[in-house]
Structure 1
Amino acid sequence: MAPRGVGVGGAESAGFSEIPVRFADRSPVSRRLLVKPHRAREPAAARPQNRTLFVLNVPPYCTQESLLRLFSQCGAVASVELQDRPGPGTKPEAKKSKFFSRKPAEGFQVAYVVFKKPAGMMSALKVQEPWVLSPKEHPIRTGLQKWIQEYSSGIVDPEALQSDIDEFMKQHDKRVAELEAVAEAEDGVPDEEGWVKVTRKGRRPGVPRTEAHSLQAIQREKRKRAQKELLNFYSWQRKDAKREHIAQLRKKFEEDKQRIAVMRAERKFKPY
């Protein structure tokens, strides 16, 4: 099957090389992995352009382990990234729980294979012999076996899950206790403006406010009062200007009505 945006006949014109792959040794049908050196306008450090191979048309049942095993035949592989579509790499999110995994892929994927040496990438571009994705030594589960495996992995042991929850809550309580300890250490200590933080546990005795802090607080209150008076004055000025503008519009409207009435009265029938 051809990848989205690249036809089978246009693979070579797009700069891709083809690697034939079969699912098993006895599979009569083979697919084509389309590969080419990875090129990007803004290369990422995790994908060096002289060692990264861009792979299209990866079947949904193909895993990172199987791709690592296949491309390791060409040279030592540093990493393999599987994505739903081409794009910049995203940092894998840390798994919050070992009991739940991400949703499996539903369609064909793309991959970025990073070799440890450039020779490995060049060797992969010259592969002609078909590769087997699911050999006897490393079978890929499909069909009924895959469904049974997914169902079995979805059954969670309640005791193990409870143990994992207890450990998570233990770490959470530890972090909360550390934050509360930091808040208590800062409680009662005035900041640079002389204000003392008050928490729900009540105000605690702290450093007494100095005369300089008191003067700063008085000046701050004066500025707030002056700003409030100025804001009220501007509000009254805007209302007065708006009222005057409306009166001018009404006066102009009456004058226009009178002028139109005079023009209608002076209109006469003149056939010649």
Structure 2
Amino acid sequence: MKEISILNVIVNKSSSIVRHVFVKPLASDPEKKSVIFVNLPCFCDPESFKKLIVEKFGDVTLITYHSSIEKVGIDESSFDKEKLSPLNGHRVAVVHFKKKASYKELFNFIESEENLYLYGDSKPITGIRRWEKCYNESILDVQSMKEEIATYIAAYDAKVQLEKERAKSMEGVPDEEGWIKVTRHGKKSFLPNSESLDKKITDQMRRKKAKVEGFPYVNKIKHNPF
């Protein structure tokens, strides 16, 4: 088997232009179930490519999508969670087949020099329609965002409540070394025994006492409206 093979790709059955996609086994896969596809056309969208590979050669466990061959091995993005724009040039895909038979079926198809139709009788979305599709997909769904935020807050509140209950249950219980951990969720409130706090309380009491002594009848004056 050649190190690099050429897969003949045609857009659909009404087209006669043959494009070459370079196929190479992934060297880091000892089980020989993974393949690198180089020079995928920019109009080859993730959903169609995955559907084509599965229907033609068999199930896959993962398909990762990369901007160049140098990015292979880096978890940059995937077809299921597309992060790279499909509009900016050709791409590289790494296909991880579920079975080794699918891997062999792919290279048998390449050796037969048959043409692989990307879209069959349909056409890919290109031009202004492609830009419209990408723009519409980039608009956030407000309702789904609210639901996601509400779900996150509910999970966070449940986590905080669980921590409070756990802290209260451990209040006053000594650990292995005999220490009792004081938590902020305990029933008793503890004041820090510091010199600055004592001085602050003393100053407040002194000012209050001086105010009362300076005007002892402050609380005994009655206002006569006449």
TM-score, normalised to structure 1's length?
Answer: 0.54
The CA distance in 1 between the partners of 2:46 and 2:170, in whole Å, is 50
For residue 177 of structure 1, report the CA deviation from its aligned partner.
Answer: 1.1
Deviations 1:183-204 (A, max 9, x none): 2222222222222212234575
Listed as ranges, the gaps of 5+ residues in structure 1 are 1-11, 96-100, 206-272
The CA distance in 2 between the partners of 1:107 and 1:79, in whole Å, is 26
Q: How does 1:1-272 map to 2 (within 5 A)?
A: 15-40=3-28, 43=30, 48-49=31-32, 51-72=33-54, 74-84=56-66, 85-87=71-73, 102-105=83-86, 106-126=88-108, 127=110, 128-137=113-122, 139-201=123-185, 204=188
For residue 27 of structure 1, report the CA deviation from its aligned partner.
Answer: 4.1
The corresponding residue for 1:214 is: none
The CA distance in 2 between the partners of 1:90 and 1:145, in whole Å, is 26
Count residues with an aligned counterpart: 179
- SS where residue 191 of structure 1 aligns? coil
- Asked whether the equivalents of residues 26 and 34 of structure 2 are also in contact (C-alpha less than 8 Å), the reply is yes
Larger radius of gyration: 1
Deviations 1:75-123 (A, max 9, x none): 322334123122166897x98xxxxx63435443332323344333223
The CA distance in 1 between the partners of 2:174 and 2:76, in whole Å, is 43
Q: After the TM superposition, which of the residue ranges 64-73 and 188-197 deviates more from structure 2?
A: 64-73
Deviations 1:27-83 (A, max 9, x none): 45432111133332x74xxxx32x332322223433443233333454322334123
- Asked whether the equivalents of residues 37 and 93 of structure 2 are also in contact (C-alpha less than 8 Å), the reply is yes
- Asked whether the equivalents of residues 77 and 83 of structure 2 are also in contact (C-alpha less than 8 Å), the reply is no
- Asked whether the equivalents of residues 35 and 56 of structure 1 are also in contact (C-alpha less than 8 Å), the reply is yes
- Asked whether the equivalents of residues 65 and 77 of structure 2 are also in contact (C-alpha less than 8 Å), the reply is no
| Distance change >3 Å, CA 200–CA 79, structure 1 → 2 | closer
The CA distance in 1 between the partners of 2:169 and 2:144, in whole Å, is 38
| Distance change >3 Å, CA 130–CA 160, structure 1 → 2 | same
- SS where residue 79 of structure 1 aligns? strand
- Asked whether the equivalents of residues 18 and 34 of structure 1 are also in contact (C-alpha less than 8 Å), the reply is yes
The CA distance in 2 between the partners of 1:113 and 1:157, in whole Å, is 31
Which aligned runs of 4 or more in structure 1 are off by greater than 4 angstroms? 88-92, 201-205
- Asked whether the equivalents of residues 42 and 91 of structure 2 are also in contact (C-alpha less than 8 Å), the reply is yes
| Distance change >3 Å, CA 202–CA 185, structure 1 → 2 | closer
TM-score, normalised to structure 2's length?
Answer: 0.63
Listed as ranges, the gaps of 5+ residues in structure 2 are 190-226
| Distance change >3 Å, CA 112–CA 160, structure 1 → 2 | closer
| Distance change >3 Å, CA 80–CA 60, structure 1 → 2 | farther
The CA distance in 2 between the partners of 1:148 and 1:173, in whole Å, is 40
- Asked whether the equivalents of residues 37 and 121 of structure 1 are also in contact (C-alpha less than 8 Å), the reply is no
- SS where residue 7 of structure 2 aligns? strand
